[in-house]
Structures are given as C-alpha cells and as structure tokens.
Amino acid sequence: MQYRTLGRTGIKVSPYALGALMFAPSVGNPDPDDTARIIHKALDAGINVIDTADAYGGSEEVVGKALKGRRDDVVLATKVSRPMGDDPNHQGASRRWIVTAVENSLRRLQTDHIDLYQIHRPDPGTDIEETLSALSDLIRSGKVRAIGTSGLPASDMVEAQWVAERRGLARFHTEQPPYSLLNRGIEREVLPVAQRFGMGTLVWGPLGQGLLTGRVRKGQENELRRARFVQHLNDERRLDVVERLISLAGQAGLPLTHLAMAFTIAHPGVTSAIVGPRTMSHLDDLLAGIDVALTDDLLDRIDEVVPPGTDVGTLDQAYLPPAVQQADLRRRPVAQRSGS
C-alpha cells in the first residue's frame, strides 16, 4: 500500500478510503457483525481511512463499535450539516449546531476525537467565518484534528481560504467532491484549486454510484435500476458511455471496477477515493485491483470516451447551489424584464 499525505496535514492515508454509508443498517448491510468483519478486513489490507457522517442513519454507531481496540489504526472522518430531524436548527453549519453535533458524533463513534470533521454540504445561510470560528475552537479543544468540506464549489473553496487567512482561523484541509470516469467536472476548477491551496481530496462516487460496477447494463432491467433514489442509473447518456467503458476495460484485460478505481486515484489532485462496499465480496473485488496502474495510452483512450473536465449526466446526490436551484435567483422581476 502506497500511502499519500492528506493535503498539508502530515497525515498519511491510503489511496482507498472506506465509506460507511452502506454500513447503516437502514440503508445497506443490516448485520453490524458482518460490517465489523468488512471493516477489519479493510484495515488488515492497509486501508486506514473510514469516512462516515451523522446523517448516515446508524453508521457512526456501527463504525464506533467495530473500531474498539483499533481506533488508533484509523484516520476517522465524519461529517455535519445535513438535517438530523425536523428541527430547523438541527442542521447546517452554524456554531450552535456544530458544537452540539460534534458531541453527538463523538458519543456515537465511542471516541474522544475526530481526525477529520467535514461540512457535509455547503450552508449558504451561514457566514463562512461563523463556521470556521466554531471549527477552529474544536481543533484547539482537541476534539477535532483537521477540518474539511464536501461538495463545496471552487469559488467557495477560495473564499474560505481567504477568510481563514484574514481572520486567523483554521483553514479547511480537505474537500470531498464526486469524481469518476463519468463525472470529471471537478478537473476544471475544484481539483486545481485544491492543489493550489494544498488541500487533500477524498473523492466519492468513483464507481458512479453503481453504474461502473458492470452490473447495470443498457437494455437490461434489474433491481438497482428500479430503486427510486438512483434515477441516474436510467440516464441513457450515461448507460451509453458505460458500454464503451466496458469494452475498453475488456480490451485492457481489466474488470470495469478496477479500471474505474485506477483512473480515479491516478489524478495527482486526488488523495483518496472512497469505496462503499456493502458486502465482503464487494470489498474483495475492490482490494484485488488496488495495485492496478493505467498506462498513458489507456488514459488517452479514456479521454476520448469522456473528455477531461466533462460530466456525463449528473449524480442524484450532487450539490446544486442556490443560484441553480432557486428560480428567483435566475430571473429578474417581471417589471424589470418588461422594461417598465
């Protein structure tokens, strides 16, 4: 296992990180004991990063229990800001919620510190100085070692770095964006900005949320494609590209999963790619390809299928800023449009 430095933190991490969403009994593996075996096997194989979140329905509890006796072997990452109930103040990146949420995560994870505490999604309603101030206090208290973001647009990443410098606050050490053979948009700005400011990146969705496993094919019906929360699996544009990538992987003598993972961690701006196995067999398949390296010729051929810096469709869980989501931010008032 060739370890990499997580930004400028000095923390050494594996090129694969273990994502814990599928460890939530309500979402993925319903057997915590089986999940613990998966976690232990990943650690034994050299993976030393586990990434979870308070919003991953029970995942933190499962991870905390599984790490008993092995906590010091793990770079433990979790997140805050997604809704944790109906109370409007039990979400977001305000100081009020962060100082409460971190205590809840520490309790569920059965630990006294979090190695990487991340803002799960941007919170446009909270001033970034407010967020960084609260996170800086958590670092000084020893409850958090490093801080990061997830889904932050490049312009917001720059703003956060500037605010941290001007106000003497802790700066974000990492960003967690989506990245895969199908979604290369972050190559335009997010990855260059992360590299410019010395930030590490833990990219999610390297298997296209299931599309790059080879189990979802054009013209074939299966359980995955019927799931209501994975509409992207029915995107014909993405399915067409997957067929081309399957052919390319076959010509290279590689399973599609190994091609996809090797592509993701080949980018110099990527620190680790988050894998989310639900079963031991899923983990075994991913571990079998951890040493695969792609040739420049093969990377060039991938560029011909999906040009650098482009996305094929969108992921269902990709962050959309208010400027895109809210119509009133994209349209002048009627009176101004009519010229009156």
- Please, what sign has the CA dihedral across residues 148, 149, 155, 160? negative
Domain range list for the chain:
4-313
Residue 56 annotated to the active site:
yes
Burial of 135 (0-12, 13-18, 19+ CB in 10 A): buried
Cα 261 to Cα 177, 241, 270, 274, 295, distances in angstroms: 15, 16, 12, 10, 14
Look up the CATH architecture of domain 4-313. Answer: Alpha-Beta Barrel (3.20)
Q: Using an 8 Å Cβ cutoff, are 160 and 149 in contact?
A: yes
Return per-residue pLDDT of the chain as tens, 340 residues: 899 999 999 999 999 999 999 999 988 999 999 999 999 999 999 999 999 999 999 999 999 999 999 999 999 999 999 999 999 999 999 999 999 999 999 999 999 999 999 999 999 999 999 999 999 999 999 999 999 999 999 999 999 999 999 999 999 999 999 999 999 999 999 999 999 999 999 999 999 988 999 887 776 665 554 444 456 666 789 999 999 999 999 999 999 999 999 999 999 999 999 999 999 999 999 999 999 999 999 999 999 999 999 999 877 777 888 888 888 888 888 777 665 5
* Annotated catalytic residue, options 16, 56, 117, 179: 56
* Cβ within 8 Å of residue 80, ≥6 positions away: 53, 54, 93, 97, 98, 101, 102, 105, 117, 118, 119, 120
Distance of CA 336 to the CA centre of its chain: 41
For residue 150, list its beta bridge partners. Answer: 176
Question: Token digits for 42?
Answer: 């990943």
pTM (two decimals): 0.92
Identify the H or E element spanning 62: helix 59-66
The structure tokens listed for 337 are 């449009």
327-334 long-range contacts, CB within 8 A, separation 24+: none
